[in-house]
Amino acid sequence: MPHPSLLLAAAENAQNGGPGWILRTVIIVGVVGAALLAWILLRGYGNQD
């Protein structure tokens, strides 16, 4: 079971609205960028006969 201070910290963070819009934007852009990079890199492998 998690330590009570960890639960309290998580509850306070949830009340404040989470990590913030900057971190959320960075995470979303990173995930979209990784998916786009994977698509670009893997696109060329399908054309080999």
pLDDT tens, the chain, 49 aa long: 556 666 566 666 556 666 688 898 999 999 999 999 999 998 877 666 5
Residue 9, domain member (yes or no): no
Tell me the C-alpha distance between 15 and 35, whole Å: 32
Residue 24, domain member (yes or no): yes
Tell me the C-alpha distance between 45 and 49, whole Å: 9
What token pair was written down for 40? 């670009």
Tell me the C-alpha distance between 16 and 12, whole Å: 6
The residue segments making up the domain with residue 38 are 19-49
Tell me the C-alpha distance between 9 and 4, whole Å: 9
DSSP H helices, the chain, are 4-15, 21-43
Residue 43, domain member (yes or no): yes
Domain count, the chain: 1
Residue 10, domain member (yes or no): no
